[in-house]
Structure 1
Amino acid sequence: MLEQKLDKISQENQNQVVHINISDVYPNGDQPRIYFDEDKIIALCESIKKHGVLQPIVVRPDDEGRYMIIAGERRYRASIMANKKSIPAIIKDMPIKEVLEIALVENLQRENLNIIEEAKAYKNLIDKHKSTQEELAELVGRSRPYITNTMRLLNLSDEVKKYIELEKISPGHGKALLRVSNKEKQIGLAHKIIKENLSVRKTEEIIKGMLEEKKIKNKSKEKDIFIKDIEERLMNTLGTKVNISTGNKKGKIEIEYYTDDDLNDIIDRLLEE
């Protein structure tokens, strides 16, 4: 497992810790974690001022003599805040795909990722590094359907995804909103969830009602098209305007005529065998 590999790296390299200029270190641009708790960074900064960086970060050398962070971005950020010029590090040369996998597992273990960041990390590994959903499921100890359903949240509107990231609505709300294809309606429902503090179940009931109403409207629309076709065929046959109106239990057909001759002509056409 990757978490065991990361522990092993730290254990095997305790005597290989080096201090590198913090200006030569930079975060991984594909780091799964996007949001960092500022209060926790400040607290870590105060600790580093008093005790230094107790656990070295793990970095990967690049072709320009600089180092990309594999693990330990919080320590890196707090060290910058503490005005440290150097930082203890373990240098490990490994494939970029493995770097991303380790970053993903480390953040998941520490519960540092929100569900949207997690989904983006899965998508990045699949799109850029040809991982499969089965491989990711084994990597993080989840089922393949879990990976699939988590990634589906990326299909939500950007505003709804932001609400999930900020924990204004839950991932469960997000999964319910996936049934609503219209992005504006998704956002409107998200506002309603926040304003009325709706549960996931209540949200699902509202969406179910919306979809059933839409289904009825679509069915009515299809019927209208059918009625218009019949009206047109009758007008061609009778040579005059025909209007068909429908109700819940009954309907009527209106045939226009302007003279007695028109009426007789319509009757003749209707009675033709």
Structure 2
Amino acid sequence: MARDSKSKDNKHKGGLGRGLEALFEDEPVSAAEEIQELPLAEIRPNPYQPRKQFDDKALRELADSIAENGVFQPIIVRKSVNGYEIIAGERRCRASKLAKKTTIPAIIRKFDESEMMEIAVLENLQREDLTPLEEAQAYDMLQKNLGLTQAEVSKRMGKSRPYIANYLRLLTLPTKTKRLLQRGELSMGQARTLLGLKDKSKIDALAKRVVKEAIPVRKVEAIVSQMNQKKAKKQPAKKSAFITASESQLADKFGSSVSITAGKKGNGHLSIDFKSTEDLNRILDLLGVNLDD
């Protein structure tokens, strides 16, 4: 018998979290939710599905089992303008197509866009099907599409706020490093450590080295620390007493912050801060500048 297993030790708190638990319970289907055989050609993936990769070998094994025994657990779908969208059970749907099936048992339920997003994320999290990058993208999608804060995402997903924040930080990695993380060549721990590198332009090169040499997280931390020490910023040159006194006198005159940067060849830069158009006009008046002339 081939069926998707549910993780028993990853319980999610919050309203929808409990609703998802009920969604996957093997309870008798009510009369209002009878199982129907729907054409696979009319079924499309959840548009908010965060999972991008499916294990080909496991999918093939499930397809072989479905070809012999059929699908024992119906998928959950919602009616859309053209056919149906999967709420839960995309793996079974894909495997059924591989098994050359034309229909699949399904239960039709009503969900709005917000619920579709949350269910797509929660289903995969419960089954631990997402890569670290996919999980990060899922949390980012919830934040942007539902207008949630990190704290709200944390509450809805049943995760701590630091947990959510650490995953979202992965999205700031450069593209090549993200690819290594998505393919599983780079671990979550290694990727998080690379984020500590001050010179972001060197992350890709270091990530490639970490993968090539199979460098453990502790050693990556040491390398990042060493590189950061070399990158330590130089202290700005101390201003002369004359420059400091000039800044002070000009600040008193204009009633605004003034900065003077002297060059090596007698040249330099003078800046006067202003807070608004009115403040700028006040300073121009003090300088005797009349733009109306």
Q: Same fold (TM over 0.5)?
A: yes
- Report the TM-score when normalising by structure 2: 0.72
- 1:23 touches 1:85 (CA, 8 Å); kept in 2? yes
Deviates more, 1:180-189 or 1:32-41: 180-189
Alignment match of 1:219 (pick from 231, 234, 248): 234
Aligned positions of 1:95-106 closer than 5 A: 95-106=112-123
What one-letter code is carried by the residue in structure 1 that aligns with 2:36? V
* 1:6 aligned partner: 20
Matched residue of 2:46: which SS? coil
Identical columns (%): 38
- 2:198 touches 2:228 (CA, 8 Å); kept in 1? no
Paired with 1:99 and 1:231, the residues of 2 have a C-alpha distance of 63
- 1:3 touches 1:106 (CA, 8 Å); kept in 2? no
Matched residue of 2:234: which SS? helix
What one-letter code is carried by the residue in structure 1 that aligns with 2:161? R
Deviates more, 1:132-141 or 1:38-47: 132-141
- 2:17 touches 2:156 (CA, 8 Å); kept in 1? no
Please, which runs of 5 or more residues in structure 2 have no aligned partner?
1-14, 241-260, 267-293
Paired with 2:200 and 2:194, the residues of 1 have a C-alpha distance of 9
Paired with 1:12 and 1:125, the residues of 2 have a C-alpha distance of 32
* 1:255 aligned partner: none
What one-letter code is carried by the residue in structure 1 that aligns with 2:20? L
* 2:55 aligned partner: 37
Cα 1:75–1:209 change in 2 (3 A) is same
- Report the TM-score when normalising by structure 1: 0.77
Residue 138 of structure 2 is aligned to residue 124 of structure 1 = no
What one-letter code is carried by the residue in structure 2 that aligns with 1:42? R
Cα 1:231–1:45 change in 2 (3 A) is closer
Provide Cα deviations, 1:88-133, integer angstroms capped at 9, x if missing partner.
1010111111112112111111110111100100111111122332
Please, which runs of 5 or more residues in structure 1 have no aligned partner?
234-273
* 1:21 aligned partner: 39
Kindly state the Cα deviation for residue 21 of structure 1 after the two structures are TM-superposed. Answer: 0.7
Alignment match of 2:203 (pick from 186, 196, 214): 186
Residue 187 of structure 2 is aligned to residue 173 of structure 1 = no
Provide Cα deviations, 1:131-189, integer angstroms capped at 9, x if missing partner.
33223212222111211111010000111111112221111111111123555411110
Paired with 1:3 and 1:131, the residues of 2 have a C-alpha distance of 16
What one-letter code is carried by the residue in structure 1 that aligns with 2:29? N
* 2:224 aligned partner: 207
Alignment match of 2:179 (pick from 155, 162, 175): 162
* 1:46 aligned partner: 64
Cα 1:85–1:184 change in 2 (3 A) is same
Paired with 2:203 and 2:231, the residues of 1 have a C-alpha distance of 15
Deviant stretches of 4+, over 6 Å: none
Kindly state the Cα deviation for residue 205 of structure 1 after the two structures are TM-superposed. Answer: 1.2
Paired with 2:179 and 2:88, the residues of 1 have a C-alpha distance of 25
